[in-house]
Structure 1
Amino acid sequence: MAKIKDHPLRYDLVNELHARPFPALTVPCHAVYVAIKEAEHAVNRDRAADRAHLLALLDRNGSPHPQPDATHFSGAMGRHHLKWESHTEFVTYSAFGSGVSSRAFDPMEADVFPQDWLAGAPGTRLTSVLIRVEELPQDEAEMLAKLDDWFVPESLAMARVVDGAAVIAGDFRIDPAGHMRFAVFVKKGTGERRVGRIVQRLCEVETYRAMSMLGLMRARGLSGKLNTLDPQLSQLISGMNSPDHSPEEVLQTLLKISAELESLAVQFSFRFGATEAYEAIVTQRVSVMREVRVEGRQTFGEFMMRRYDPAMRTVKSVDARLRGMAERATRAAELLRTRVDVERSAQNQKLLESMDARADLQLRLQTTVEGLSVVAISYYAANLLAYIAYPVTEGLGLSKGMSMAIMVPVVILGVWAMVRRIRHKFH
């Protein structure tokens, strides 16, 4: 019995759903996370360079290699478990180790990624995170004392998440060693994969926050350019009816500004679109943690609302301003082009009227000339006929003057009829 054929991508599409599983973490433990991005204007990464960099790290620890075309890898690396993921704009490395150091957020934990190896990365470090995972103490005051000692109280965000399974905390500041810190206090009995999901989401929140805020830096640079173009555009639009400049000159200047705005839109459209997508991921990752306030402290959602959302609104505002200016320039150019077309039509109408008048004058001159032509042709025709008819008229006893008097009216009428017929054929 014949079987139905599977779509060639059927299994690939299903496997993609399970391509990046959450780690399973046993409390206490720690995580070191690094995200590397290529140059600012680069969109697609050099996959071969990323793979070579990964293999250099694995070879240092005698770890197995991933598949040749893999975009993710998870496996043992010495005393740690490594997780590697390749994304469109960046690549991430996560190292999970059991136990925690006596010194909270000890920079030595980050040595799992050697400095010389990081220096050879195909890109720059976008974010570096240290996460400390401990068991939630019975006395909540003990936990709060640790957090006040580890983080800056003014910017500390914390919340009880995932139905009270854990308490997460962080101040979103970079410590002297160059790392951002997060603490996770896990309730006893919480499953290993749930702990892994919490840690993974913290890493994702920080990564996509950093990626989305790249749009803010670009938006600030774009604002200066728009501040220069906006007065020029407004002045051109307000002076469109001024007689000081011809519409053609204004149109050329307006088209130049429109071209510059379109060029800016092309340069910034990808970054602003990516910022919108990354912002949505950050918001989603925070919401799925189902935060509950702890001791009146601000939650991650509140921190994002106060510190992060204004940045995203700035990006959206600049993006909307760029689109609005481009639309204004386009509408103004269309109006001005219409005005130029109307004026040209009026000029053409006047030109046609002038040509009409000249044609009428030529017709009158032609009529006058035709009258003179009839006289001239008739004169010569009558003389020729007189010579031809002379033998006949002499036999009839008619003088030359009498014969000419008889033939001239007939010749004039004949020539006039011939000229009229020729003119009638031409018209």
Structure 2
Amino acid sequence: MLQPDTPAVTPAAPDALRALPPDDPQRERLHNEVHARPPARIRLPALVVYVAVLNEGISRDQECAHLQRLPGQAGLQPEDLAGSFLRLRGEGYTLKWERHTEFSRYSLVQPLPAGAGLGAEQPPLLPGLVLPADWFATLPGRTVAAVKLVLVEQDLTDPQAALALGQRWLGGRTVVASHLGHNGHSIAVTNFRLQPNGFERMLVMAAPGTSETRAGRISARLLELETYRLMALRGLPAAKTLAPELAAAEADLADTIAQLERRHASEQDLLDRLIHVAAGVERANAQHQYRFSATQAYAELVRQRTAELREKAIPGTQTIGEFMQRRLSPAIATVAATERRLASLSQRIERASALLRTRVDIATETQNQQLLAKLTQGQALQLQLQSTVEGLSIAAISYYMVSLLLYGAKAAKGLGLPLNPEMTAGAMIPFVLWGVWKTTQRIHAKLHARGDAH
């Protein structure tokens, strides 16, 4: 019956009295992160069957249900998968489950089937699995990496002879191989080719006496290297698909800027075209930015894992690191160039938008100046009309006042005063005009003084 691993319990120290402030809520989790995925201990010779599946849309409950199909694991609960790592042990074999951000990994470590060691040529491996035949085929998710890794002991005194055995084991085709470690403790051989069953093969020949811990570390590095290589390459199809769209967007932007320079189109037409180009670029950013960033992160992990192998070349054979560098670097460079091209296009659209806004602001300012000029001209005409009306008003007021004086003179003559009404009224006309004009001037002076005070 498979049993899940349980963390080791540290014996209580004599000075167990706590002398610290309260822990940060995440302290224990962050502290134990370095122990979250311990490497397996592999006794040679061994077969490691490794499958990594994309887990988008796959819940832990689904993965737990699949693990429950293993012999003796019907009582496994989703809570057991909360730490994103689980190692189930059985009689002579182990199964490790790990969940990452984008993929989940399943690793079966078991004894090497009979007849599958060195000396054989492309020996069948899947028929010798200790798990049910369809268990790997029904894993929830989509396969991104699948490797059958065989680890055996072999005398490495003559690396060429060992390499010849490894090449024959892989079918006699061209292989890449590396002497691993500063002291050459093992040789890794592979051809990075997919077999009809969907798996690729790797062979590790370790020096006699290699510890189980070292074998586990070698296995982990090689399998992680292949997984991260494939995850890094997932950005390449997106970059190739995006290239024609970026070319079309760049052409549209260049044409829009040319029309902006020649002033052949209205601001509204230019704005509509610029918005169309900007919307396409932002959509591409939203769809692919995460994938491009993830590609760079996975590529860095590939470089780290390659460096950890501490490879030495075997004369006449390309190392795993050299193969990775020559095959992976162009793809990563393409993705990086597409990411920079997308960012550059966004910046150019922003600058074009600024130019268009400047053009619109200048046109608006010109229209405002023309409107102010018309308002000023209207105000001048209004002042002229007002002056004309004031002149007519002075004449009208003076006329009414002279008329009143005439009636007053006639009334005085009726009372017996020796007056000539017409002569009296005529003589008062200059004084009336002067008085009305003077009164108008005083009113203007008061209005101007009130306006200055405000």
Scaled by the length of structure 1, what TM-score is found? 0.91
1:100–1:132 CA contact under 8 A, matched in 2: no
Where does residue 119 of structure 2 map in the other structure?
A: none
Per the TM alignment, residue 308 of structure 1 is displaced from its structure 2 partner at its CA by 0.6
For 2:87, the aligned partner's letter is S
3-state secondary structure, aligned to 1:91:
strand
Question: How many residues are treated as equivalent by the alignment?
Answer: 422
Q: 1:105 touches 1:181 (CA, 8 Å); kept in 2?
A: no
With over 3 angstroms needed to count, the CA separation of the structure-2 counterparts of 1:74 and 1:388, relative to structure 1, is farther
- 2:67 aligns with 54
Which of these residues, 170, 178, 193, is aligned with residue 213 of structure 2? 193
Equivalent residues of 1:155, 1:172 under 8 A apart: no
How do 1:14-413 residues align onto structure 2 when only pairs under 5 Å count? Answer: 14-39=31-56, 46-57=59-70, 59=72, 67=80, 69-77=82-90, 79-103=92-116, 104=122, 106-108=124-126, 111=129, 114=132, 116-118=134-136, 120-138=138-156, 139-151=158-170, 156-163=175-182, 164-388=184-408, 390-392=410-412, 395-413=416-434
Unaligned runs of 5+ in 2: 1-16, 117-121
Partners of 2:92 and 2:110 within 8 A in 1 = yes
Q: Match of 1:239, SS?
A: helix
**Separation (CA, whole Å) in 1 of partners of 2:402 and 2:25:** 102
**How many angstroms apart in 1 are the aligned matches of 2:19 and 2:338?**
56
SS in 2 for 1:354: helix
Shift of 1:224: 2.1
**8 Å CA contact 1:100, 1:133 repeated in 2:** no
After superposition, the C-alpha distances for 1:195-219 in whole angstroms (9 at most, x for unaligned) are 1101011110111111111111111
Whether the 8 Å contact between 1:105 and 1:132 is mirrored in structure 2 is no
Shift in CA distance, 110/46, structure 1 to aligned 2, threshold 3 Å: farther
1:383/1:200 Cα in 2 relative to 1: closer, same or farther (>3 Å)?
same
How big is the shift at 1:399?
1.8
Q: What is the CA deviation profile of residues 121-151 of structure 1, one whole-angstrom value per residue up to 9, with x for unaligned ones?
A: 3321111110011112354444222333344
Task: After superposing the two structures, state which structure 1 stretch, 121-130 or 283-292, moved more.
Answer: 121-130
Maintained 8 Å contact 2:112/2:150: no
Following TM superposition, by how much is the alpha carbon of 1:79 offset from its aligned partner in structure 2, in angstroms? 4.3
Residue 8 (str. 1) matches residue 25 (str. 2): yes
Are residues 383 and 132 of structure 1, via their aligned partners in 2, closer, same or farther at CA, if it must alter by over 3 Å? same
Q: Indicate the RMSD between aligned Cα atoms, in angstroms.
A: 2.5
> 1:135–1:187: 8 Å Cα contact kept in structure 2?
yes
Which amino acid in structure 2 is aligned with residue 69 of structure 1?
A
- CA shift for structure 1 position 174: 0.7
How far did residue 161 of structure 1 move? 0.7
Cα drift, residue 156 of structure 1: 2.3
Superposition deviation, residue 157 in structure 1: 1.8
What is the TM-score normalised by the length of structure 2? 0.86
Aligned AA (2:284): L
Q: SS of the counterpart of 1:174?
A: coil
Flag the 1:396–1:46 CA change in 2: closer, same or farther, 3 A. Answer: farther
Which of the two has greater helix per residue? Answer: 1
Q: Distance in 2 between matches of 1:421 and 1:144?
A: 117
Q: 1:403 to 1:270 in 2, by over 3 A?
A: same
| 1:261-296 deviation digits (Å, cap 9, x = unpaired) | 122112211111111111100110011110000123
Give percent identity, aligned residues only: 36
Residue number in structure 2 paired with 1:416: 437
- SS state of the match for residue 228, structure 2? helix
**CA distance, structure 2, for counterparts of residue 21 and residue 30 of structure 1:** 19
Choose 163-172 or 73-82, whichever is displaced more: 73-82
Q: Choose 29-38 or 373-382, whichever is displaced more.
A: 373-382
Distance in structure 2 (CA, Å) of the matches to 1:224 and 1:155: 36
